[in-house]
Amino acid sequence: MKKPASAPDRVVLALLPLLLIGILAAPAFAQQPVASQLKLTDRPNDDGSALLLTFDLTGWDETTRVRTEVEVDGEWLPSLMFPQLITPVPTKGGSPEYFGWHAADPEQRVLVVDRYIFIQDPTAEELAENPDAVPQPQPVYLEAANTYHVRLMVLHGGVESYYDAGSMKTDEQWFNVAATNNLVMCVIFAAIIMGFIMAARRNPNLFIRRINGLEAVDEAIGRATEMGKPVLQVNGLDPLSTLSTIAAVNILGRVARRVANYDSELLVPCFDPVVMTVSQEVVKNAYLEAGRPDAYREENIYFVTDQQFSYVASVCGIMMREKPAANFLLGYFYAESLLLAETGFTTGAIQIAGTDALAQLPFFITTCDYTLIGEELYAASAYLSREPMLLGSLKGQDIGKGFVMLMILLGTILATIGVYLTTGNWNWLVEMLTPLM
């Protein structure tokens, strides 16, 4: 007859399965990563819409995932639907915009906490439209001047571990300290340029190097006049908020005045209606100042379309039918640059192009007679007008460029020396000159 188990034996038997589970699960728990040094801070230089969580994590591998969670009304809501891999999470050393160039504990990881996600049930209207509507995740962004309680979740081998990071109040700033170097450089350049503009008032005889493309403007308009053909100007495809478009419209004013003086015809098909409106006003005033308001024809400065290749088709059609003797392709261009310039080339027109779209420059250089490269486009208005104050700003700009070149040279030398110096003490100058934002 089998002896009945005693009370202590029954307790051991009952705990045996738990013990077995514990033994089997022990390796998994033993390998769990451990987070420490958790610190929750306000994100600097922002509008108070985020916190930063920094932490040390040991024992992780490529499969380890992390995410932050925010406590809302006693419930922990995740910042991300799915935890992210730890490997791409930046370190403090790799985030100088938050921690400067010499962060303490540079290997600590940094997570930005700027939202939490809650699952929103479908509304009555949504259910009426679609009875199968399911709850949807909705992000809620953190707000300034609120205190948030945050924790870190570490997921490894299917096991979740939680670490409380404490609470922190979000705070908005009124000055972006990380952009101080930018502000200082901006003020220095502005002072240099304004200084030269003032100097140009006293001494208007400033030397500006010859720019062949701009010297050819008169020649091109004169040729068009002799041939009895119109002059065509395209102001690029960008809106008026782009500086190269403003530069192109400035040149249009100069070109229009010469066209008015020579009694030629000017065609300006526009891609943007705002640019068209401004172009009409600029050309109208140019004709007025040239004493030829009667020669101004508003229907020649017109809106075509705001679709890229439809616009190209239209302008190429004008080139083929009207055969303008001079084409000015100025402003910002995209893939249409070569289509326009190559069509103009086949019609035998003198072509002067100017753009700061670096990818399009080779196409213009290949197909146009003259190309204004980058800064020459911006210098054109001053160059054509010979206005001393505008020329003064060009001089100031050149000095600024010389200053930047000197800084680049100095920075290159110091960075090179810094590579060979184990202390790296020279890096401070390089870091000072490197914009953070």
Of the ranges 64-72, 92-100, 110-118, 368-376, which one interacts with another protein (CB under 8 A)? 368-376
Q: At what angle do helices 375-385 and 243-262 cross, to 10 degrees?
A: 40
Contacting residue, 206, 216, 227, 373, with another protein by CB under 8 A: 373
From CA 380, how far away is CA 198, in angstroms rounded? 20
Contacting residue, 286, 329, 352, 353, with another protein by CB under 8 A: 286
Contacting residue, 56, 114, 385, 430, with another protein by CB under 8 A: 385
Sequence-distant (≥ 6) Cβ neighbours of residue 225 within 8 angstroms: 262, 263, 264
Of the ranges 15-23, 151-159, 293-301, 412-420, which one interacts with another protein (CB under 8 A)? 293-301
Q: Closest separation between CB of residue 90 and another protein, Å?
A: 20
> Between 269 and 418, whose beta carbon lies closer to another protein?
269
From CA 133, how far away is CA 126, in angstroms rounded? 7
Q: Taking CB under 8 A as the rule, does residue 264 contact another protein?
A: no
> Between 29 and 302, whose beta carbon lies closer to another protein?
302
Q: Taking CB under 8 A as the rule, does residue 381 contact another protein?
A: yes
Q: Taking CB under 8 A as the rule, does residue 268 contact another protein?
A: no
Sequence-distant (≥ 6) Cβ neighbours of residue 409 within 8 angstroms: none
- β-bridge partners, 15: none
> Between 39 and 323, whose beta carbon lies closer to another protein?
323
From CA 368, how far away is CA 345, in angstroms rounded? 7
Contacting residue, 41, 303, 411, 429, with another protein by CB under 8 A: 303
Q: Closest separation between CB of residue 369 and another protein, Å?
A: 13
Contacting residue, 21, 25, 404, 421, with another protein by CB under 8 A: 404
Q: Which of residues 225-254 bind another protein (CB under 8 A)?
A: 239-241, 243, 246-247, 249-250, 253-254
- β-bridge partners, 326: 231, 350
From CA 172, how far away is CA 7, in angstroms rounded? 65
Of the ranges 10-18, 28-36, 54-62, 380-388, which one interacts with another protein (CB under 8 A)? 380-388
Q: Taking CB under 8 A as the rule, does residue 118 contact another protein?
A: no
Tell me the number of residues near another protein by CB under 8 A: 95
Q: Which of residues 161-200 bind another protein (CB under 8 A)?
A: 172-176, 179, 182-183, 186, 189-190, 193-194, 197
Of 328, 364, 348, 325, which is closest to residue 254 (Cα–Cα)? 328
Distances (CA, A) of 38 to 35, 58, 167: 7, 13, 11
Q: Closest separation between CB of residue 331 and another protein, Å?
A: 12
Q: Tell me the residue type at 130.
A: N
CB of 233 closer than 8 Å to CB of 252 = yes
Q: Taking CB under 8 A as the rule, does residue 276 contact another protein?
A: yes
Q: Closest separation between CB of residue 92 and another protein, Å?
A: 20
Contacting residue, 5, 15, 274, 417, with another protein by CB under 8 A: 274
Q: Which of residues 84-113 bind another protein (CB under 8 A)?
A: none
| Neighbour tally for 325: CB within 10 Å | 23
Q: Which of residues 312-331 bind another protein (CB under 8 A)?
A: 312-313, 317, 321-322
- What is residue 17's DSSP assignment? H
The first and second tokens of residue 260, run together, are 């008015």
Q: Which of residues 47-76 bind another protein (CB under 8 A)?
A: 47-49
Which residue in the block uniquely carries the two structure tokens 């799915």?
82
Q: Closest separation between CB of residue 361 and another protein, Å?
A: 8
Q: Which of residues 4-43 bind another protein (CB under 8 A)?
A: none
From CA 394, how far away is CA 407, in angstroms rounded? 20
Q: Tell me the residue type at 37.
A: Q
> Between 113 and 142, whose beta carbon lies closer to another protein?
142
Task: Strand 370-373: give its sheet, edge to edge.
Answer: 301-303, 266-270, 231-234, 326-330, 350-355, 370-373
* Cα dihedral 330, 336, 338, 344 sign: negative
